[in-house]
Amino acid sequence: MSADRHYDVIIIGSGAGGGTLAYRLAPSGKKILLLERGDFVPREKQNWDSRAVVVDGRYNNVEPWRDVNGKEFVPGAHYFVGGNTKLYGAALVRLRKQDFGEMRHHGGISPAWPLNYEDLEPYYTEAEYLYQVHGIRGEDPTEPPASKPYRFPPVSHEWRIQQLSDDLKRLGHRPFHLPVGVLLDEQNPQKSKCIRCSTCDGFPCLVQAKADAHVICVEPALQHSNVALLTKSKVTRLETDSSGRTITKVHVDHDGVQETYSANIVVSSCGAVNSAALMLRSVNDTHPNGLANSSGQVGRNYMCHINSVMLALSRCENPTVFQKTFGLNDFYFASKDWDFPMGHISFVGKSDAEILAAGAPKIAPGFTLELMAKHSLDFWMTSEDLPDPNNRVTISRDGQIQLSYKPNNEEGHRRLQAKLKSLLKDVNCTEEVIHLNAYIGKRIPLAGVAHQNGTLRFGLDPRTSVLNLNCKAHDLDNLYVVDASFFPSCGAMNPALTIMANALRVGDHLLERLK
């Protein structure tokens, strides 16, 4: 391998995990290569056009995958510099302290993590600072202890959301301001990078004001001359030496040209599905079932949360522009109503008629899509799904990614939906509550892989986990993983902040190792 193709560290994938790790390692002066299969999101008018983004899927550039029966589907994910954070809703929330321990659910046990909340807490704080999270401590009774206040005040509610929050508080509930990563300065709107628009969650930010991994981490990392980024560079296979302990070659399809690179340390951060697929595609004589797979766990325990959108049609109009400011965790844990956790309630971005048309909802009597959009409160609900070895990523005979997933632990989610409906009746704001029936609004189906995690779980026992506590593969000396694959269980909070915090944690370990 020529010296110019050899690096101290190669990071594969530039999303929440890989981008954050590159940022952490950049000041070390070590020679770092970031390999990203996607390109930059084009900056164009369509970034904020709901027809282009939601109806036409302009930024849905992932190849088709197959379901358990071999049927193709197009996953709701994105290959870009910054990964899925380019289109995420930037709700940057911590898992709860209890999520790190074992928890009983209606559908079974959510296993404990091999580290405690306290081990990750300093990194959560750091990730919140780095990603400019706006929030306020003390409102959400389930929030875990934090060592610092938020760096920025919470994003304010617009009047309709404030009204909902006030109504719920009057009934004794504890709604809170959802922590979000947008570069918004409400005190100084003329100077604020974020203009608080309606096309944020699920859209790229045309003015680069979303705290995504590209803006916050990859661009600053590239200011260091020791860091290089290669786009349109899909890693196809990792090759090891004959002992199988060391990766010696990283095979790359660079815009159609086959190239190889090498590094002392290789970090996979392709997202939970693609990192597992990369391991499975890297079979060799010493790793006959896929790289790092002596446990047989590679690709297994795929989780993605049980998510749904519920559209509540309110008597009064909802002219909210930036809707993702509200959260409610009153049903996150077992409660006096039920012995098991239900989950988290918040909002998606405000829907318009185009978005509703894409979801093809059942039109409520007397409503047009425009009228529905004008009156809707567009709730997002998340419940925990549990690790199941049969929910897994495999490679089909023709080389495609195959995703087998049977939702589990669904009763908690059904109860959460029922709770929300009854809450809305209590605050007397709905004439009718309907379920949307498509990707943007529905019980999110298999293609809704936004919260994918768990396929290369970390743990203390190499017989039951793929990665060790530092997210190094048990079976190899120089392979790490810092995307969402490492989750042994996923709680019911959005995953990105945990991935970012963990990447900073693993980054500290690598800085020590690289000394």
Ligand X SMILES: Cc1cc2nc3c(=O)[nH]c(=O)nc-3n(C[C@H](O)[C@H](O)[C@H](O)COP(=O)(O)OP(=O)(O)OC[C@H]3O[C@@H](n4cnc5c(N)ncnc54)[C@H](O)[C@@H]3O)c2cc1C
List contacts with ligand X (CB under 6 A).
12-18, 35-38, 76-77, 79-80, 83-85, 87-91, 201-202, 234-235, 269-272, 274, 278, 450-451, 483-484, 494-497, 499
Tell me the C-alpha distance between 275 and 271, whole Å.
6
Q: Which one of ligand SF4, ligand X, none interacts with residue 15, CB within 5 to 8 A by kind?
A: ligand X
The minimum distance between CB 142 and ligand SF4, in angstroms, equals: 26
Nearer to ligand SF4, 41 or 200 (CB): 200
Nearer to ligand SF4, 341 or 349 (CB): 349
Q: Which one of ligand SF4, ligand X, none interacts with residue 207, CB within 5 to 8 A by kind?
A: ligand SF4
Q: Which one of ligand X, ligand SF4, none interacts with residue 274, CB within 5 to 8 A by kind?
A: ligand X
Q: Which one of ligand X, ligand SF4, none interacts with residue 53, CB within 5 to 8 A by kind?
A: none
Tell me the C-alpha distance between 186 and 188, whole Å.
5
Retrieve residue 362's tokens.
Answer: 């059942």
Place of tokens 């990603």: 131
| Cβ atoms of 386 and 315 closer than 8 Å | no
Nearer to ligand SF4, 37 or 78 (CB): 78
Q: Is residue 209 at the binding interface for ligand SF4, with CB under 6 A as the rule?
A: yes
Beta-ladder partners of 257: 254
CB burial readout 427-464, b (16+ within 10 A) else e? bebbeebbebebbbbbbbebbbbbbbbbbbbbbeebee
Q: Which residue is nearest to ligand X (CB)?
A: 15
Nearer to ligand X, 65 or 367 (CB): 65
Q: Is residue 395 at the binding interface for ligand SF4, with CB under 6 A as the rule?
A: no
Tell me the C-alpha distance between 445 and 306, whole Å.
9
CB burial readout 184-206, b (16+ within 10 A) else e? beeeeeeebebebbbbbbbbbbb
Q: Is residue 213 at the binding interface for ligand SF4, with CB under 6 A as the rule?
A: no
How many residues make contact with ligand SF4 (CB under 6 A)? Answer: 13
Q: Is residue 195 at the binding interface for ligand SF4, with CB under 6 A as the rule?
A: yes
Tell me the C-alpha distance between 354 and 319, whole Å.
16
The minimum distance between CB 396 and ligand X, in angstroms, equals: 16
Tell me the C-alpha distance between 215 and 124, whole Å.
19
Q: Is residue 216 at the binding interface for ligand SF4, with CB under 6 A as the rule?
A: no
Q: Which one of ligand SF4, ligand X, none interacts with residue 182, CB within 5 to 8 A by kind?
A: ligand SF4
Residues 302-331: x/- map of binding to ligand SF4 (CB under 6 A)?
Answer: --------------------x---------
Q: Which one of ligand SF4, ligand X, none interacts with residue 205, CB within 5 to 8 A by kind?
A: ligand SF4
| Cβ atoms of 495 and 15 closer than 8 Å | no
Within 10 angstroms of residue 169's Cβ, the number of other Cβ atoms is 12
- Quote the DSSP letter at residue 225: T
Tell me the C-alpha distance between 70 and 184, whole Å.
45
Tell me the C-alpha distance between 24 and 507, whole Å.
6
The residue range among 11-19, 32-40, 95-103, 194-202 that interacts with ligand SF4, by the rule CB under 6 A, is 194-202
| Cβ atoms of 67 and 446 closer than 8 Å | yes
| Cβ atoms of 74 and 62 closer than 8 Å | yes
The minimum distance between CB 422 and ligand X, in angstroms, equals: 26
Residue from 197, 283, 357, 364 in contact with ligand SF4 (CB under 6 A): 197
Residue from 34, 200, 372, 481 in contact with ligand SF4 (CB under 6 A): 200
Q: Which one of ligand SF4, ligand X, none interacts with residue 91, CB within 5 to 8 A by kind?
A: ligand X
Q: Which residues bind ligand SF4 (CB under 6 A)?
A: 182, 194-197, 199-200, 203, 205, 207, 209-210, 322
